[in-house]
């Protein structure tokens, strides 16, 4: 992982604590091709956890209703298709048809109040631009 690659994608305060939001990112593959990269970010206090928005069971997005990622108790990520439930901190499936499998983690850090993806080249180079929070973050604020 190239830790020199750091992209601010959202502000920490755009996501209320104990909530999850989805972002539609685009990363650059090794051949230079742009690849749609939907992710989900969970905020828990000062901590953030990121995963690819892709259920290990059938490979679909977890949120069958937009930005509905959490189980009814709000303590696990849940896939809306068959109800698999995933631990927030590890992405491991604790209950459901893919029990024992895991979501694919997305490496995140919080720098100066921004949530940043580390080690993945995104298609839009944010270094030279003013940071704009993605629309999905604004909608949840």
Residues that bind ligand FES (CB under 6 A): 55, 57-58, 60, 79, 81-82, 84, 96-97
Residue whose token pair is 């893919």? 98
Minimum CB distance to ligand FES smaller for 22 or for 96 = 96
- Minimum Å distance from CB 101 to ligand FES? 10
Instruction: Tell me how many degrees the CA angle 19-24-25 measures, rounded to the nearest 5.
Output: 115
Minimum CB distance to ligand FES smaller for 38 or for 134 = 38
**Contact (Cβ atoms closer than 8 angstroms) between residue 51 and residue 103:** yes
Q: How far is CA 113 from CA 13, 96, 110, in A?
A: 7, 35, 6
Minimum CB distance to ligand FES smaller for 49 or for 69 = 69
- Minimum Å distance from CB 13 to ligand FES? 30
């Amino acid at each position: 992982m190239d830790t020199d690659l750091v992209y601010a994608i959202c502000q920490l305060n755009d996501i209320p604590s104990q909530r999850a939001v989805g972002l539609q990112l685009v990363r650059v593959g090794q051949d230079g091709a742009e690849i749609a990269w939907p992710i989900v970010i969970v905020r828990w206090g000062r901590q953030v956890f990121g995963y690819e928005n892709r259920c290990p069971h059938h490979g679909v997005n977890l949120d069958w209703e937009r930005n509905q990622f959490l189980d009814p108790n709000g303590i696990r990520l849940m896939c809306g298709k068959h109800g698999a439930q995933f631990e927030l901190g590890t992405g491991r499936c604790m209950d459901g048809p893919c029990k024992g499998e895991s979501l694919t983690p997305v490496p995140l850090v919080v720098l100066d109040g921004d949530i940043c993806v580390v080690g993945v080249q995104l298609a839009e180079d944010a270094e030279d631009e003013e940071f704009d929070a993605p629309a999905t973050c604004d909608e949840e604020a």
